[in-house]
Amino acid sequence: MNFNAGDTAWILVASALVLLMTPGLAFFYGGMVRGKNVLGMLAQNYVTMGVVSVLWILGVYSLAFSGTGKYIGNFHQFGLNHIWQQATGFETLTIPPLVFCAFQLMFAIITPALITGGTADRLKFGAWTLFCGLWLVIVYAPVAHWVFSPSGWLSKLGAEDFAGGTVVHANAGAAALAVILVIGKRRGWPKERMRPHNVPFVLLGAGLLWFGWFGFNAGSALAANTLSAYAFVNTNTATGAALLGWMIVERLRDGHATTLGAASGAVAGLVAITPACGFVSPMGSVAIGFAAGIICALAVGLKHVFKFDDALDVVGVHLVGGVLGALLIGLFGTKMVNGANGAFYKGGWTLMGHQAIAVVAVVAYSFIVTYILAQILDKTIGLRVSVEQEVAGLDLSQHAETAYETASYSDGNRFSSSLNN
Amino acid sequence: MKLITAIIKPFKLDDVKAALQAFGITGMTVSEASGFGRQRGHTEVYRGAEYTVDLVPKVRLEVLVDSGEAEKVIDVIVKAASTGSIGDGKVWSTPIDNVVRVRTGERGPDAI
């Protein structure tokens, strides 16, 4: 096999960038929860890094990428046996198979981690740990195979997903909705106010996500070339446009553009451009990003209409944004960059049809299987903490720790430091 | 003896402390407080959802004084704490039966 040092070096770095997204996500979410639950949120994200890192090597990589099955891989590369062989359909890659495996691992880590935002403040730590491992095997592995593996049925159909708009975002968003419906609302929602306890954390986390996302999207070219450059520029452009779109909605609707809105808009743009970044032009990415910022800013209100407690808006941002991005490829896809032409480039509606099938298949499978899995776990080991534990907070009840020594009864408002004089 | 309690804006604490020290007050207790008066709280918006925050951060300052000095001390605090805008706070006095200095066991006005 002919490996290219430049490609290999880039994908190794990109893998590390994608890994950093999960701690970034942990802070993005952690800042939005109440101060008594921030460690619970960080712990759920970090333990996912542990669980998935091990399971991926043991067998899940093989299930997702080995073999020629239409719906699921096989155990050919169980325990990374035969890892000197490229994954099926990736024979022309110029990076070692082990690098591809590591890069894909990082996607498998952040996908279940995304769910924790919807279920924030009420999952038992042990139940989450078990759930994320099972979900990885029965939901993530098949869906990744359908879309990412060239032998998967959606990939064969012609559905396009450059970096995981369906596999990662729509998948995690649909799963979050399913778990939310099983475990129910946080105690006191929506009457009791549950303000973000640390908005600077949210912005810090969003910045880490934006940075790491260059690895996620531009790395998905699996080489250091013009296509990865398109993905890089499209990612940044769409993110900027979405940030502006979200803040404009807030300014017009609420009177103030907020910092939380800037972070949320950026993430919405990152989500929506993920499937499209290697198929659209930079001008297309402006349209996709701007649309994502506006639509996701409005979509986060859905939970108040339909009364489901999507605590940190995983449905409004990741499900809606992922679906939106996947569908907009059907309009903005262009051969000049990569892939097939969409409706706006005289490609007709064929591509849009493929995108719609992929979206429906992934969302339906993820929602249904996750719902059944969550019901079984809830009826057996129980997914949700007790009322006492929820009131005390996850930090204390699940981990016997507190995040802040100076935890205050009054939402952390401290007066001037002049008292120390 | 009287206990003067003042609820003031946190950023006015330094001014009030300096004014009381200049007046000759030898001790005070300051604590963090939150609450609302006629100005009510304020509104915050997170992802389009409005939150009414009733309790505004304040500082509670307590001073023990001789009954004869109470009115003057209140005037000093009010003058120093005032900004003229809504939410400046309140000052009140309460009669005190007895005061004991822990170290010496002194009682009454001597302990102030």
- Nearest residue to A316 (alpha-carbon basis) of A118, A108, A150: A118
Nearest to A256 among B14, B45, B55 (CB): B45
ipTM over 0.85: no
Establish if A412 belongs to a structural domain. no
CA distance A7 to A10: 5
pLDDT in tens, A183-208: 999 999 988 889 999 999 999 999 99
- What is the pLDDT at residue A155? 96
**Inter-chain touch A413–B34, beta carbons under 8 Å:** yes
Instruction: Give the CA distances from residue A105 to residues A139, A167, A195, B69, in Å, rounded to whole numbers and listed in that order.
Output: 15, 13, 34, 74
> Quick one: closest CA in A to B58, which residue?
A415
Contact status, residue A171 vs residue A139, Cβ threshold 8 Å: yes
Establish if A144 belongs to a structural domain. yes
Judged by a CB distance cut-off of 8 A, whether residue A264 touches chain B is yes
| pLDDT band for position B30 (cuts 50, 70, 90) | very high
CA distance A135 to A145: 14
Establish if A328 belongs to a structural domain. yes
pLDDT value at A418 more than 50: no
**Inter-chain touch B45–A254, beta carbons under 8 Å:** yes
Contact status, residue A201 vs residue A34, Cβ threshold 8 Å: no
CA distance B46 to B49: 5
CA distance A23 to B25: 52
| pLDDT band for position B42 (cuts 50, 70, 90) | confident
Judged by a CB distance cut-off of 8 A, whether residue A82 touches chain B is no
Phi-psi region of A355 (alpha: psi -120 to 50; beta: other; left: phi over 0): alpha
Check which CATH number belongs to the domain holding A289 and give it: 1.10.3430.10
- What is the pLDDT at residue A415? 42
Q: Structural domain boundaries of chain B? A: 2-111
CA distance A85 to A97: 6
Nearest to A410 among B34, B50, B51 (CB): B34
Looking at residue A123, what DSSP letter applies? Answer: B
| pLDDT band for position A408 (cuts 50, 70, 90) | very low
**Inter-chain touch A250–B32, beta carbons under 8 Å:** no
- Nearest residue to A166 (alpha-carbon basis) of A327, A53, A21: A327
- What is the pLDDT at residue A416? 36
**Inter-chain touch B14–A416, beta carbons under 8 Å:** yes
pLDDT in tens, A336-367: 999 999 999 999 999 999 999 999 999 999 99
Establish if A416 belongs to a structural domain. no
Instruction: Give the CA distances from residue A1 to residues A94, A101, A259, B46, in Å, rounded to whole numbers and listed in that order.
Output: 8, 16, 49, 53
- Averaged over A382-399, what is the pLDDT? 96
Complete edge-to-edge strand list for the sheet that includes strand B29-35: B29-35, B56-65, B2-8, B89-95
**Inter-chain touch A250–B55, beta carbons under 8 Å:** no
Pairing mode, if any, of strands B42-46 and B49-53? antiparallel
**Inter-chain touch A419–B55, beta carbons under 8 Å:** no
- Averaged over A242-267, what is the pLDDT? 97
DSSP per-residue letters across A141-183: HHHHHHHHSTTSHHHHHT---SS-IIIIIIHHHHHHHHHHHHH
pLDDT value at A396 more than 90: yes
CA distance A91 to A97: 9
**Inter-chain touch A250–B45, beta carbons under 8 Å:** yes
CA distance A37 to A22: 18
Residue burial A116-134, b: 16+ Cβ < 10 Å; e: rest: bbbbbbbbbeebbbebbbb
- B→A interface, C-beta within 8 Å: 10-11, 13-14, 17, 30, 32, 34, 44-53, 55, 57, 59
Query: Which residues on A lie below 8 Å from B50 (Cβ)?
Result: 254
Residues 6+ apart with CB under 8 A from A296: A242, A246, A264, A265, A268, A271, A272, A316, A317, A320, A321, A324
Beta bridge partners of B49: B46
Establish if A411 belongs to a structural domain. no
Give me the percent of chain A exceeding a pLDDT of 70: 96
What distance in Å separates residue B33's CA from the closest CA in chain A? 8
- What is the pLDDT at residue B52? 82
Tell me the residue type at A53: S
Query: Which residues on B lie below 8 Å from A196 (Cβ)?
Result: 46
pLDDT value at A52 more than 80: yes
**Inter-chain touch A418–B59, beta carbons under 8 Å:** no
Residue tagged 């509606």 (tokens): A349
The domain of A323 spans: 5-399
- What is the pLDDT at residue A411? 43
- What is the pLDDT at residue B51? 84
- What is the pLDDT at residue A317? 97
pLDDT value at A410 more than 60: no
Looking at residue A372, what DSSP letter applies? Answer: H
Nearest to B47 among A264, A411, A419 (CB): A264
Measured in residues, chain A has a length of: 421
Give me the percent of chain B exceeding a pLDDT of 70: 100
Size of interface A-B (CB pairs under 8 A): 54
Q: Which residue has the higher pLDDT, A410 or A48?
A: A48
Nearest to B48 among A301, A416, A419 (CB): A301
Judged by a CB distance cut-off of 8 A, whether residue A256 touches chain B is yes
- What is the pLDDT at residue A343? 96
Which of B47, B51, B52, B58 should be substituted to probe chain A, the one whose Cβ sees the most A Cβ atoms within 10 Å?
Answer: B47
- What is the pLDDT at residue B48? 87
Task: Give the number of domains in chain A.
Answer: 1
- What is the pLDDT at residue B38? 83
Contact status, residue A79 vs residue A102, Cβ threshold 8 Å: no
- Nearest residue to A176 (alpha-carbon basis) of A133, A115, A135, A127: A115
For B2-111, which CATH class? alpha beta
pLDDT in tens, A290-335: 999 999 999 999 999 999 999 999 999 999 999 999 999 999 999 9
Residues 6+ apart with CB under 8 A from A323: A165, A166, A170, A173, A359, A363
Give me the percent of chain A exceeding a pLDDT of 90: 95
**Predicted TM-score (pTM) of this structure:** 0.88
Residues 6+ apart with CB under 8 A from A105: A15, A52, A53, A56, A57, A61
Nearest to B55 among A258, A313, A410 (CB): A410
CA distance A266 to A264: 5
Look over chain A and give the mean of its residue pLDDT values, rounded to a whole number: 95
- What is the pLDDT at residue A406? 55
Establish if A100 belongs to a structural domain. yes
- What is the pLDDT at residue B53? 83
